[in-house]
Structure 1
Amino acid sequence: MTSRLNPYLSFSGNAKQALEFYQQALGGTLDLNTYGGSGAEAPPGYADKIMHGMLETPSGFTLMAADNPPGTELTPGNGFAVSLSGDDAGELRGYWDKLTDGSTVSVPLEKQMWGDVFGMCTDRFGITWMVNITERS
Structure 2
Amino acid sequence: MSTSLATYISLPGTTAEAFEHWHEVFGGELNLLRYGDTPMEGLPFEPDPQAVAHVTLSLPGGELAGGDVMDDQDYPVRDTAYSLLYTVDNPEQARELMGQLVAAGGSENMPFEQAPWGDWYGQAFDRFGVMWAFSSAAAGNAG
2:98 paired with 1:96: yes
TM-score where L is the length of structure 2: 0.83
Q: Which runs of 4+ in 1 moved over 6 A?
A: none
Contact 1:35-1:48 at 8 Å conserved across structures? yes
Tell me the residue number matched to 1:52. 54
Displacement of 1:136 after TM fit?
A: 4.7
Q: How many residues matched?
A: 136
Identity, in percent, stands at 25
TM-score where L is the length of structure 1: 0.86
Tell me the residue number matched to 1:81. 83
* RMSD of Structure 2 on Structure 1 (CA): 2.1
Q: Judge which range, 44-53 or 71-80, deviates more.
A: 71-80
Q: Judge which range, 25-34 or 87-96, deviates more.
A: 87-96
- Structural mapping, 1:3-18, within 5 Å: 3-18=3-18
Contact 2:11-2:68 at 8 Å conserved across structures? yes
Deviations 1:42-82 (A, max 9, x none): 8556110101100112x233111110113444221442210
Unaligned runs of 5+ residues in structure 1 are none
Distance 1:72 1:52, change over 3 A: farther
- AA partner of residue 66 (structure 1): G
Q: Distance in 2 between matches of 1:21 and 1:7?
A: 17
